[in-house]
């Protein structure tokens, strides 16, 4: 009886220690800086209801917070200069920068700030927030997919996401030439972030 009395608490504490090693601690929220070299904002608009014209915005910036254990704690803020648009045709770029379209002198920034994030599937998230474009701010909700995560060759930890969605440019005050260029604009946003490490 004495042996059993001593063995029971030893076994109990051993199980506690073992369980402590087996249980994974909750993942803390991580903050990432958007890598402008490996992040892309691409757009597509229909031309004369015949074909598509494509372009992009260069050098996006911002930060995002990712909390895998509690996605509601995640967030993203991202912006790009409207004047950094690029359709590979300088004459067309200059027209798009004018008051007919983006009016970059009056509205130099395009920005997005999330208001809520929730997980809806494996590596898939629903992100709601406000898109500010040409002086107008509108709520949008998009489906975002995590592409991957891991260390790069220089020891930084990276995480990547991508989404595709459609907006109507007329809702942001851009109604010039609706008979020649479609109102609907398709956007693809691919973001790669570098994790901020504690100092």
Query: Taking residues 177-196, what's their average pLDDT?
Result: 97
Handedness of CA 188, 132, 169, 92 (dihedral sign): negative
User: Is 73 contained in some domain?
Assistant: yes
Whether residue 168 has pLDDT greater than 70: yes
User: Is 6 contained in some domain?
Assistant: no
Q: Look at the chain and report how many structural domains it folds into.
A: 1
User: What CATH number is attached to the domain comprising 159?
Assistant: 2.40.128.110
pLDDT band at 28 (very low <50, low <70, confident <90, very high): confident
Please give the model's pTM, rounded to 2 decimal places.
Answer: 0.83
User: Is 18 contained in some domain?
Assistant: no
User: Is 1 contained in some domain?
Assistant: no
At 127, list the tokens: 């992100």
User: Is 9 contained in some domain?
Assistant: no
User: Is 101 contained in some domain?
Assistant: yes
- The closest alpha carbon to 154, from 28, 25, 29, 38, belongs to 38
User: Is 35 contained in some domain?
Assistant: yes
Query: Taking residues 29-39, what's their average pLDDT?
Result: 97
Q: Print the domain residue range for 69.
A: 26-195
For the ranges 13-22, 46-55, 127-136, 153-162, which has the lowest average pLDDT? 13-22
User: Is 2 contained in some domain?
Assistant: no
């Amino acid at each position: 009886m004495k042996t059993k009395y001593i063995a029971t608490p030893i076994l109990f504490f051993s199980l506690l220690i073992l369980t402590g090693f087996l249980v994974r601690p909750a993942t803390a929220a991580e903050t990432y800086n958007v890598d402008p070299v490996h992040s892309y904002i691409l757009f597509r608009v229909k031309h004369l209801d015949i074909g598509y014209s494509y372009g992009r915005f260069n050098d996006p910036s911002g930060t995002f917070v990712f909390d895998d254990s509690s996605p509601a704690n995640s967030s993203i803020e991202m912006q790009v200069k409207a004047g950094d648009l690029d359709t590979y045709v300088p004459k067309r770029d200059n027209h798009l920068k004018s008051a007919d379209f983006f009016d970059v002198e009056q509205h130099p920034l395009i920005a997005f700030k999330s208001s809520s994030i929730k997980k809806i599937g494996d590596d898939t998230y629903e992100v709601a927030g406000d898109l500010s474009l040409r002086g107008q701010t509108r709520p949008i909700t998009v489906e975002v997919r995590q592409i991957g995560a891991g260390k790069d060759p220089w020891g930084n930890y990276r995480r990547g996401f991508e989404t595709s969605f459609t907006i109507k440019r007329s809702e942001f005050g851009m109604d010039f030439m609706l008979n020649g260029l479609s109102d609907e604009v398709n956007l693809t946003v691919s973001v790669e972030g570098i994790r901020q490490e504690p100092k």
